[in-house]
Structure 1
């Protein structure tokens, strides 16, 4: 049984989406960060960085949400109807990796800065100016992806790949920070991705569930 440590609305959603799409039996293991469960010796034995998500599949223990996505697609991709989660050609794989890295470094990084300065840092460490800069940087890079997606249904090629499942979560996060106001193509793409039959909950829905 595959175990996924971490729950919505965290980046565990990226891994959960692949588990759903591949119809893989799995167990979700909640880790209460607020209570410090990610800093216990037991959890640090899985991930010394004390961060979520972590996936355990047999003897393999792997963290970093994008790496988990790639692993699941690589090992179990033949379960996906029609294949295609990882492109066949080296050229298209390079394009997929390009956009995966772009999403993580150019769009998620500003989103994480916003989160840090909005509610994760101690009050004396927070900076409204840093939030403003992160939002500016995020919008600039979102504009690049918006341009790329003109006339496209998917990030790379003619069918869904790992990059799309990464992008959907990342853009949902950006949407929560109101960074997609000038990105109508990405808003439509986001809606289409979350309309998939095996899409996980959105960040907003997961937050609402926590507050209920």
Structure 2
């Protein structure tokens, strides 16, 4: 959050100075306000980064527990995939793999920019982000396509609900248990980070389906 501090000075605006004096004081206050905003914003960012670095030195989640948790979310996610059926896996896997690759690149950028930070091994992409990506992110993408593809409004609403649950209550718990915390991202920005990918996922699946239809039509003639 950006904080702004500025002072009015000892002299009242416009007192015995006339209209020109008011403009001068007004311009002075505007410049002082702008400089204060810039300094405060810079200090806020530095404070956030400093807090995240300090958090790395505090007591984090037990690393063995996090290792088990990472393994569990991947295994449990993959266990659900056969329930999709081989036909649906073949149908929805290409688009899901594509959006997974987009997410991996996006998360790599996010890690470099410190949009969030993991308490254990904060510099390890493999230990932090990858279990989420190859586990829940991939599986949920495929399940949502199975349940809602062809019904765009339902697809967007379901994505919105799931992304909101992850960005707000899950992230709150993750911070509380010292798993990861947001640094340069707000919860709403974190929500948008995931939600924006829903439109791309649906668009890619649409292109794949449309291409298959065209291929079938060509085979008929």
Q: If the length of structure 2 is used for normalisation, what is the TM-score? A: 0.29
Point out the structure with the larger helix share: 2
More strand by share: 1
The TM-score normalised by the length of structure 1 is 0.30
